[in-house]
């Protein structure tokens, strides 16, 4: 009896340390992207305010009008990098990278090949700095053509996925999920998310909540061990979206 208790002692002492070691660090979210992620018109702020659990935090660095090139030229990427350094000891730092809406414009000075290279460079720089990049395919526009969403970000989507797969990095296919949802609810219902009348690119505050939920659900579904514990679920909203009903 006495002997067996003594034998158990080292194990018992070791247990608390092991549990502490395994505890999941909270996440610091850094959002990089264009206006479809940015404050006032994108999903980013709603993501930070409605989907992340207590203890986690983040900053929405996305900028209206930004391409993969102008985001760096304008110094915003530097700010993301600085934040990785600042928060990586206390948090697991994840950086979402979602571009394409402006890169695709003929005036952007960014070819599809450069867009691809720029995304890959950004993702690798995040990893080198001690963060974890998440490549996000561009949020769909809600413009319909012949009864279906006009999928005019398909090249950018394909390239974003190509980079993530080639570099073995995290990704979510937001373009596919948002296109599926918008097709399911139809043009009239989708217009309820318009930032302003006729603006089918940017989202109003409720549109932000809905698309942020899609982002969050994709993250949890793809990487449950990393994100489930640090996410606040909204079962009602997720079920409505999944059923293809207008939220």
Ligand X SMILES: *[C@@H]1O[C@H](CO)[C@@H](O)[C@H](O)[C@H]1NC(C)=O
Quick one: which of 79, 121, 143, 194 contacts ligand X (CB under 6 A)? 143
- Residue 50 as a binder of ligand X (CB under 6 A): the answer is yes
149 binds ligand X (CB under 6 A): no
In eight-state DSSP terms, residue 194 is B
Stretch of residues binding ligand X (CB under 6 A), selected from 4-12, 90-98, 170-178, 232-240: 232-240
Residue whose entry in the numeric block shows the structure tokens 């000075």: 109
Q: Is 52 in the site for ligand X (CB under 6 A)?
A: no
**What distance in Å separates the CA atoms of residue 44 and residue 35, rounded to the nearest whole number?**
9
Under rule CB under 6 A, residue 108 binds ligand X:
no
3-state SS of 119-182?
Answer: HHHHHHHHHHHCCEEEEECCCCCCCEECCEECCCCHHHHHHHHHHHHHCCCEEECHHHHHHHHH
- Which of the 8 DSSP states describes residue 186? H
**Single residue of 209, 215, 218, 220 touching ligand X by CB under 6 A:** 209
247: contact with ligand X by CB under 6 A: yes
Q: How far is the CB of 57 from ligand X (least distance, A)?
A: 16
- 154 near ligand X, judged by CB under 6 A: yes
**Nearest CA-CA partner of 66 in 28, 103, 91, 29:** 103
State which of residues 63, 72, 141, 170 lies at the interface with ligand X (CB under 6 A).
141
Rounded (10°) CA dihedral 237, 61, 140, 103:
-170
Min dist. Cβ of residue 50 to ligand X (A): 4
Site membership for ligand X, residue 139 (CB under 6 A): no
What is the Cβ-side half-sphere exposure of residue 147, based on CA atoms within 13 angstroms? 0
How many positions of this chain bind ligand X (CB under 6 A)? 13
Residues that bind ligand X (CB under 6 A): 50, 104, 141, 143, 152, 154-155, 209, 234, 236-237, 240, 247
């Amino acid at each position: 009896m006495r002997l067996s208790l003594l034998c158990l002692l080292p194990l018992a002492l070791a247990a608390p340390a092991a549990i502490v070691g395994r505890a999941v660090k909270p996440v610091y979210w850094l959002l990089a992207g264009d206006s479809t992620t940015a404050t006032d018109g994108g999903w980013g702020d709603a993501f930070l305010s409605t989907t992340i659990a207590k203890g986690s935090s983040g900053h929405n660095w996305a900028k209206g009008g930004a391409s993969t090139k102008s985001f760096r030229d304008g110094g915003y990427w530097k700010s993301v990098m600085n934040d990785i350094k600042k928060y990586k000891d206390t948090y697991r730092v994840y950086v979402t990278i979602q571009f394409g809406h402006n890169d695709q414009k003929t005036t952007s000075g960014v070819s599809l090949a450069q867009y691809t290279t720029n995304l890959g460079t950004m993702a690798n720089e995040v990893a080198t700095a001690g963060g974890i990049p998440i490549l996000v395919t561009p949020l769909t526009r809600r413009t319909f053509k012949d009864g279906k969403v006009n999928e005019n970000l398909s090249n950018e989507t394909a390239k974003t996925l190509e980079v993530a797969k080639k570099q073995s990095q995290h990704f979510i296919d937001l373009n596919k999920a948002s296109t599926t949802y918008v097709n399911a609810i139809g043009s009239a219902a989708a217009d309820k998310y318009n930032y302003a009348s006729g603006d089918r690119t940017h989202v109003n505050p409720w549109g932000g909540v809905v698309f942020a939920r899609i982002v969050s659900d994709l993250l949890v579904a793809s990487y449950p061990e990393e994100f489930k514990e640090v996410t606040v679920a909204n079962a009602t909203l997720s079920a409505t979206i999944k059923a293809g009903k207008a939220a």
